Chain A
Amino acid sequence: DIQMTQSPSTLSASVGDRVTITCRASQNINSWLAWYQQKPGKAPKLLIYKASTLQTGVPSRFSGSGSGTEFTLTISSLLPDDFATYYCQQYNAWPWTFGQGTKVDIK
């Protein structure tokens, strides 16, 4: 199975900060990577697919980059609504696998 490792596990930031989360795959997944945002008690929400394509309706302060084994999710200027947990997911091969999550909380 392909292992997905996110870093950091927790990130403390302030409103207005630029935030970057990294996701590493244990083998080449091309660009078949998605990013999700999850708030407490809510279902995950798709932010980015194919490593860098913004899902319809997602604000442009979110961006994704990378290919192969290393990927990043960047929030250009953190808003109060962005404090949440973020997951990466590979869909290059079965079984699909998720990273362990990165919690973005208030500094």
Chain B
Amino acid sequence: EVLLVESGGDLIQPGGSLRLSCEVSGFTVSSNYMSWVRQAPGKGLEWVSVLYIAGDTFYGDSVKGRFTISRDTSKNTLYLQMDSLRVEDTALYYCARWGGYGYALDYWGQGTLVTVSS
């Protein structure tokens, strides 16, 4: 059974840092394309980042230069390092598997809540 479990969400002050984790079971993170998507309270979905199998990364304009996506093969876990956090980064953060070229985000976790507030 495929399971993605996010953790690490918290209440943090503007300018702070946080690292989100996404523990995966049922498939190997390093052999799949992985992504983060966020959803501000009561709002729609916003794509954040993707990590290719080969290690290439892409980011949304609003997080570029502040967020870093990575993985730990030994722990089969995906991460999102979030620096210089802003109030507008407040959201539920989902990790998801991208099926690869031609495919979409087919497996999702339940999300972890990040609240940026003073």
Interface residues in A70-107 (C-beta closer than 8 Å to B): 87, 89, 91, 94-101
B44:A46 contact, CB within 8 angstroms: no
Please report the C-alpha to C-alpha distance between residue A44 and residue B39 in the assembled complex, in whole angstroms. Answer: 10
Q: Which residues of B contact A87 (CB under 8 A)?
A: 44-45
With A43-B94, A49-B99, A50-B102 in contact, is A98–B44 under 8 Å at CB? Answer: yes
Beta-carbon nearest neighbor of B111 in chain A: A43
A44:B45 contact, CB within 8 angstroms: yes
A43:B102 contact, CB within 8 angstroms: no
Q: Which residues of B contact A23 (CB under 8 A)?
A: none
- Decide yes or no whether A39 CB sits under 8 A from chain B: no
Since A42-B110, A87-B45, A98-B47 are in contact, a sample of 7 more A-B pairs with Cβ atoms closer than 8 Å, ordered by chain A residue number, is A36-B105, A44-B105, A44-B108, A46-B105, A46-B106, A55-B104, A95-B60
Q: Which of B58, B103, B106 contacts A95 (CB 8 A)?
A: B58
Residues of A whose CB lies within 8 Å of any CB of B are: 1, 32, 34, 36, 38, 42-46, 49-50, 55, 87, 89, 91, 94-101
Residues of B whose CB lies within 8 Å of any CB of A are: 37, 44-47, 50, 58-61, 94, 99, 102-106, 108-111
With A1-B61, A49-B99 in contact, is A98–B106 under 8 Å at CB? Answer: no
Q: Which residues of A contact B94 (CB under 8 A)?
A: 43-44
B104:A89 contact, CB within 8 angstroms: yes
Residue of B37, B44, B94, B110 contacting most chain A CB atoms (<10 Å): B44
Beta-carbon nearest neighbor of A56 in chain B: B106
A49:B103 contact, CB within 8 angstroms: yes
Q: Which residues of B contact A100 (CB under 8 A)?
A: 44
A101:B104 contact, CB within 8 angstroms: no
Q: Which residues of B contact A49 (CB under 8 A)?
A: 99, 102-104, 106
The 10 A-B pairs of least Cβ separation, nearest first, read A34-B104, A49-B104, A43-B108, A96-B47, A98-B45, A95-B60, A101-B44, A94-B58, A46-B106, A100-B44
Beta-carbon nearest neighbor of A94 in chain B: B58
Beta-carbon nearest neighbor of B98 in chain A: A91
